[in-house]
Structure 1
Amino acid sequence: MSGTPPIVIYPPSPTGGRRVRVGDEVLGLAMSLRDVTEFLRRAGMNDLEDLDVAVSGMIEWRGGGPDVWAAE
């Protein structure tokens, strides 16, 4: 993932889901780790698995890690 723009997963929204951004582009609203993985695959990061996404140092998880999907 060398040269990949910053990847940010925002805190869960009050209505559910987390916004996924790569660089300046918002890829969508993920409802699960699997959704994040799929968004990143569609953005060209084809060799990713859910575990890669969960532990990647390239991803900034705001408002909780990959196991947090509901607003508190």
Structure 2
Amino acid sequence: MLNFKSVTTRSLNRMQRSPGHSIWQRNDYEHIMRSEVSLGRIRQYIYDNPLVWQQDQLHPSNPSQR
């Protein structure tokens, strides 16, 4: 995946004449789905994520974010 990111970043920066510009979000989570089980887990995570956002440690109303 890192090679893909490097190649696409360099290509896009050349096209846009913006050398050194970052286009990828830092610390993003990547996962290659290799099975129906893996796909099902990710679908469930996407479905559940908004439901648990209020309790997330990164939620702006969390006391640790103040």
Structure with higher Rg: it is 2
- TM-score, with structure 2 as normaliser: 0.28
Instruction: Tell me which protein shows more helix as a share of its residues.
Output: 2
- TM-score, with structure 1 as normaliser: 0.26
Instruction: Tell me which protein shows more strand as a share of its residues.
Output: 1
